[in-house]
Chains A and B, each alone.
Chain A
C-alpha cells in the first residue's frame, strides 16, 4: 500500500483562516503543507485523533496538544487508519492509566465504606464532647422549630400532673440538665426527644393511651433516649452524613433524603436501648412498667387512631416486643385518678 496522500482543509490554530492543504505521511508524521503557511505543520501519527465524523464521510482530525484542526475526506481518513476516538474525552486508556483509575475507584469505595461504618462511633464520641449547656440550647432550638405553628397545651392541673410524673422518672437518672416536657395540641400519636432534655408529647398520644402507665411508659422511653444522649448522637451522625452527601452530590435536596434514610436505619438499635432503659427507670420509680408493652401492643393492633407516624419513627418488631414483655413487671400506678383526668384535659387551656 502506498503512503497516504491527499488534500484537506487546515485550520492551523494560529488564525481562523481555512487553508487548502496538501497532506502526506513522512517519517511517522502527517505533513500538512499549505501555500498560506510555512513551514508545513508536522503531526506525529500516533498522536492523531478524530474529533468529529461528519455524515458525508469527512472527518476532523486533531493532534495531541494542538489546537489546529484538519478536515480530511473519507478516502484519506481510511488510508490513515486512525483508531476511532470520536466522542472520547482523551486517548484510549493504557494499562497504567486503567490501573490508576481502578486504584482511585477502590480508594473511593474504601472511603465510603469507612464513612458508613466508621462515622457513627466517631459521631458518638463527638456527641459526648458537646457541653451540656450547648446541647440544651441546641435542643431548645430544635424543639422550637419542630413545634412551631402548633398550639402548646398548658392547662395548669394537667401540667402539674405531668411535671410530677416527669420528676419521679427523671429522679432515677443523673442528667447534666433539667428535663422539660411539653405537650402540643396535635391529634397525631407521637413523641420525641431533642438534645438537652427536651421532650415533646403529642395530644393524640395522651388521648390514645389506655392508662396513665402507658403514658409513663412512653415518657420513660423518651427519657431513655435522653439518658443515652441519643438525640445528640443522631444529630451528629445526621450532620456528618449530610455534609458528606453534600460533597458527593453537590446538591442539598438529594442530601437530605439520603441522610434521613441512613439515619433511620441506624436508629433501630437506639429504640431497643431506650426500651431497656425505660423499664429500668419505671421499676426504680416503682411504677408498673407493663404500660409500655400495653401501649405498643395497642399501637401494633391498630387500636389507636393516627398512630402511623409513631410507628414510622418508632418501628416495632416482634423481637422488640418480646424483649419488652420479658422485662416488664407490675408496680404502683403512675398517676392518681384525679391526676390522670387532669392530664387528659391538658389541652383544654384557652
Chain B
C-alpha cells in the first residue's frame, strides 16, 4: 500500500514525528472536571433525565482525547439514542417486574415457602440481565467508535453472551470459583473473536487452562494474603489477554504487575469513597492513563484494505442504561 505522511499506515516512514506505539491520552483534569460538574448539575436539575446526554458528552470528550497511532478516536453516539434505548428497555422490563411482584405476593399467600424461591429467582434474572445488558452496552459503544473514518463493530448476541456468562458463573460458584479462569477466557474469546475494526477482525487465541495454574495459586493464597493474591492473578490475566489478541498483522502487549493494579484499583476506590464520588474524574483519568501507559501496539495494519461495514441496527444500549450496570469508561 501507499505510505502516507504524516500519520499514515503502511511502512513506517522516518520523520521528525515518530508514530507512538502506545495510545496517547491528552485529556486534562481541569476540563474533565468542568464537564463532570456541569453534567452532574444538569442531571440533578432534570431529575436524572439528562444523564444520557451527560454520558454522551463525557464519552465524546474521552474518545476525542485518546489517539492511537496519531489519529484520535471519535464517539459518534447521541444522547437521544441512549434515551430511546432506555425507554424501550423500561417498557419491556417494568411490566415484567410488576408481574413478578404480583406473582410473588399471590404465591406467598397460598404457599409461603415459595417466597424465598421467587426472591432468588428475581435475583438470578437480574444477574442474567446484567450480563446481557453490559454486553449490549459494549456493542453499542463499539459501533459508535470511529477511527480513521472506520467504525468498530462488536458482533455476537447479547442474549447469548448473557446466557453463557450466567451459566458459566453458576458453574464457577458450584466449583467454589475454580472454573472461573475458564469462564473468563471463554467470555473473552466470545467477545474478542466477534470484534472487528471495519472489515479487519480481532482474534483471541487464549485458553482457560493457561490461566488455571496462576489462578489456583492465587486461589490457595486468597485467605493468607487477605485477597491480595487476586491482584497478582488479575494482572497476569490482563497481560495474557493482550498477548493473545491480534488484529490481522497487529499484536498487543500489556505488561501489568499486581502491585500496579492494586495501586490503581484500591487508590480509585479510596478516592471515590472518601469524596462520595466527587473525585470520580481523577479516578477515571488514572484508569485511562494506566491503560495508555502500558498498552503497546506492534505491527501494521494495511489500512487501504480495511473497509467499512454496514451499521447494525441492533446496536443499542437500552438495557444497560436501565440497569445502570455500566462502570467502565464514561
Contact B148 A251 (CB under 8 A): no
9-residue interface stretch from A7-15, A153-161, A271-279, A313-321: A7-15
Looking at A20, A55, A89, A134, the one whose CB has the most chain B CB atoms below 10 A away is A89
* Main SS at interface, chain B: mixed
The reply to whether the CB of B61 lies closer than 8 angstroms to some CB of chain A is: yes
Contact A137 B148 (CB under 8 A): no
Interface residues of A in 104-144 (CB under 8 A from B): 108, 112, 134, 137-138, 140-141
CA of A287 to CA of B114, assembled, Å: 44
Contact B308 A14 (CB under 8 A): yes
Contact B53 A89 (CB under 8 A): yes
Question: Could you pull out 17 A-B pairs where Cβ atoms are within 8 angstroms?
Answer: A15-B304, A15-B306, A16-B150, A16-B198, A17-B148, A17-B303, A18-B4, A18-B9, A55-B26, A67-B150, A69-B149, A87-B60, A89-B80, A112-B47, A137-B109, A243-B98, A246-B94
Instruction: Chain A residues near B7: list those with CB within 8 A.
Output: 9, 18
The reply to whether the CB of B246 lies closer than 8 angstroms to some CB of chain A is: no
Instruction: Chain A residues near B78: list those with CB within 8 A.
Output: 89-90
Contact A52 B90 (CB under 8 A): no
Interface residues of A in 18-46 (CB under 8 A from B): 18-20, 36
The reply to whether the CB of A223 lies closer than 8 angstroms to some CB of chain B is: no
Contact A12 B149 (CB under 8 A): yes
The reply to whether the CB of A166 lies closer than 8 angstroms to some CB of chain B is: no
CA of A90 to CA of B56, assembled, Å: 11
CA of A147 to CA of B36, assembled, Å: 43
Contact A250 B105 (CB under 8 A): no
Interface residues of B in 1-26 (CB under 8 A from A): 1-2, 4-9, 26
Interface residues of A (CB under 8 A from B): 9, 11-20, 36, 51-52, 54-55, 60, 67-69, 87, 89-90, 108, 112, 134, 137-138, 140-141, 243, 246-251, 254
CA of A247 to CA of B53, assembled, Å: 17
CA of A68 to CA of B151, assembled, Å: 10
Minimal beta-carbon separation of A341 from chain B (angstroms): 36
Contact A69 B148 (CB under 8 A): yes
The reply to whether the CB of B57 lies closer than 8 angstroms to some CB of chain A is: yes
Least CB separation from B108: chain A residue? A141
Contact B57 A89 (CB under 8 A): yes
Interface bin, chain B: 35 or more
Name the 4 nearest CB pairs between A and B, nearest first: A11-B149, A137-B109, A16-B303, A16-B306
Contact of B301 among A9, A16, A60 (CB under 8 A): A16
CA of A301 to CA of B321, assembled, Å: 50
Contact B90 A67 (CB under 8 A): no
A17-B2, A17-B8, A51-B74 are contacts. A67–B49 as well, Cβ < 8 Å? no
Minimal beta-carbon separation of B130 from chain A (angstroms): 13
The reply to whether the CB of B86 lies closer than 8 angstroms to some CB of chain A is: yes
Least CB separation from A137: chain B residue? B109
Instruction: Chain A residues near B330: list those with CB within 8 A.
Output: none
Instruction: Chain A residues near B321: list those with CB within 8 A.
Output: 250
